Amino acid sequence: MAGWLFLAQVPTGTVIAGLIAGSYLAAPLGLGREGVFLIGGSMVVAAFALNLLGLRIAGAVQGLVTAGVLGLVILILVFAARDVRWDAFTPFAPMGWSAVGVAATQLFWAFVGWEAITPLAEEFRNPERDLMRASVVSVGLVAALYLALAVVTIGTRAYGAGMSAGLPPFALMGGKAFGARALPIIGLAGGVLTFLPLNAYVAGTSRLVYALAQAGDLPLWAGALHPKTKAPHRALLVVGALCVVAIGLAYRYQLGISSLLPLSTSSFIATYVMSMAAAVRLLKGIPAVLAAVSLVGCVVILLFVGALVLWVATVALASVLYGLAANRRKLVPPTGR
């Protein structure tokens, strides 16, 4: 069920990541909505193509590029912090406390995605050690950067001006710090920083489809590896096609990031609720206590997705029905003469 809930958000989640990357690259070039979708869609296709060909961006290269871009992010934060006005934080919660819960469902998406690495555990030399270290370091680093970005974005009121200028807030702050001529470089950095996790996200998703198919939770047809590239090519082709269709529908029906986020986060939050419930059951001591606190928080946030709870319930029911049907087929003896 958890695997199905995770996969249910893949088409919309991939579109969101592509549109974020597209907005960073298109805005400095003066491209409009068409440019954002064209660039974002191209990056999504590129991520699937790289994984389909079995090409992986070397870990050392990813590390160097990420470190360079993060250095630029920190530098922009330092420069932009000089323009923070504390009166921008008043009134606090102007839309009421219920709006905080709704905003939390949107912000949840910013912190998810790292769990997509779990299907890649078999590719680690020491997954029990390395996965834990990577998760703790990445979550801590991302949380610190997001908090700093949130404070500076609100304090400089970059979000309102950035939207009216057609620029992401981060690009707007970078333009103020280094000048308008730096916008293409900042846009490129934002696009690269978005593409790297998108590429890893696609890899993790395809491996999840492969693992679910091997376990009988999806059609076995999807659990095949290409004889040469060793990539789960069928899973990549099916999921990639769904993502391309999702991009087309989003463009056709004028759906932006804010419209797509609830569809993605509702499934994500439900997945985390199940994960934390399992952690409470399996872990002991302090880890179990932390899991219980996280479980309560995730349940509270899930309540704010509203009618999308029905979407979550539908996906969960579909996974149960498929599992029952699959088990029934296993119990039926083959007929023959």
User: What SS3 string covers 193-238?
Assistant: HHHHHHHHHHHHHHHHHHHHHHCCCCCHHHCCCCCCCCCCHHHHHH
pTM: 0.81
Is residue 131 within 8 A of residue 124, CB to CB? The reply is yes
Give how far the C-alpha of residue 316 lies from the chain's centroid of Cα atoms, to the nearest Å: 20
Query: What does the DSSP 8-state code read for residue 125?
Result: S
Is residue 201 within 8 A of residue 46, CB to CB? The reply is no
From first to last of its 337 residues, the chain has per-residue pLDDT tens of 778 888 888 888 899 999 988 888 887 777 888 899 999 999 999 999 988 887 665 456 666 777 777 888 888 888 888 888 888 888 887 888 888 888 888 888 777 766 666 656 666 677 777 777 877 887 888 888 888 988 988 888 887 654 555 677 878 888 777 877 888 888 888 888 888 888 888 888 888 888 888 888 888 888 888 888 788 888 899 999 999 999 999 999 998 888 888 888 888 899 889 989 999 999 999 989 999 999 999 999 998 888 888 888 998 898 888 888 877 766 544 444 4
- Distances in Å between the alpha carbon of 282 and those of 62, 134, 172, 229, 232? 34, 21, 46, 36, 31
Tell which residue, 202, 171, 206, has the closest CA to residue 21: 171
Taking each continuous run of H as one helix and of E as one strand, the counts in the chain are 13, 0
Is residue 308 within 8 A of residue 262, CB to CB? The reply is yes
Domain 2-255 has CATH 1.20.1250.20: no
Tell which residue, 66, 38, 28, has the closest CA to residue 194: 66
Question: 3-state DSSP call for residue 96?
Answer: coil
Q: Which two tokens stand for residue 223?
A: 């659990």
d(CA 323, CA 308): 23
